[in-house]
Amino acid sequence: MITKKKAASPAAPVKVARIYMRVSTDAQDLARQEAIATSARAAGFYVAGIYREKASGARADRPELLRMIDDLQPGEAVVAEKIDRISRLPLEDAEKLVASIRAKGARLAVPGIIDLGELAAGAQGMARIVLESVQDLLLKLALQMAHDDYEDRRERQRQGIELAKAAGRYAGRKTDTAMHQRIAAMRAGGKSIAETARLAGCSQSQVKRVCVLIKAGSGNVYADLGMDDAEEMAAKAALADQIQEGIFAGYTSTEDAAKRLDIPLSKLSDLLRGQFRAISEAEMRDYIDRLYHPPVAPTKGKRRRANGDKVA
């Protein structure tokens, strides 16, 4: 008796994850979140990349977050410890951030948020619509709760400062020179107070205070902040301004500009926010040249003389 061999079942598709870890300040440690990678691999994911960041979740222009989104491929999952690691932004901005992840064909895989994606994909008609609506509602609730928690923490901090001031025990915080540097560079680049506050991750009132300090200073904010390379930084700030103007003049997005310059989007984002200490002046001048004088693609077909006749 001849037995037929059973056809081999198709291999299960590989699940790919990109892991995002974040803490708010340099003083905090990412060690606790390192276990996420181990858990993801145990759940059957291939980890394509790990992105570690020390920045406020209330900022949308985090370099490592932008780099991760740029690296995402269709079908991949973004894994984080909690949703507040991804965003503490106001709901509208948080939804835009999630939309940029989904636009790459990727999805969120975050503990505490029920993933109905597979159920919705297998459903049809009204059942699919309901499942997708429930998924969006759950995500909105989680994003709003993350932002509310951020605002509650800020309010408790404000109340604690007021009590300490009343008791004569509040000494204030040290000047954040890096923040002042970013604000100075963005204001010099023509950004509005509101846009500067959003990109720098601070309040509009703080932007206004820094602007007052700049006007009352020597004219070189970097010198006023006591930086040894103040002249070089001021020159780079002027070049960054020209790069910003070059992007606007070409009516292009920051993403397209990064591709034209052949640099990572996160690097260009850092430069435009005033974080250009590691970038040389020569490199910045090269960016300006490429923005204002892009290479001309060779034309196809036969060349013509000035009178219109074809050249043999």
Question: Active-site positions?
Answer: 24
Of 135, 134, 45, 59, the C-alpha closest to 90 is: 59
CB 80 within 8 A of CB 129: no
Joined tokens for residue 212: 């007052």
List CB contacts of 223: < 8 A, sequence separation 6 or more. Answer: 217, 230, 231, 234
The one-letter amino acid code at 298 reads P
Question: Reading across the β-sheet that carries 107-109, which strands appear in turn?
Answer: 45-54, 15-23, 77-79, 107-109
Residue type, 247: I
By the 8 A CB rule, do 158 and 173 touch?
no
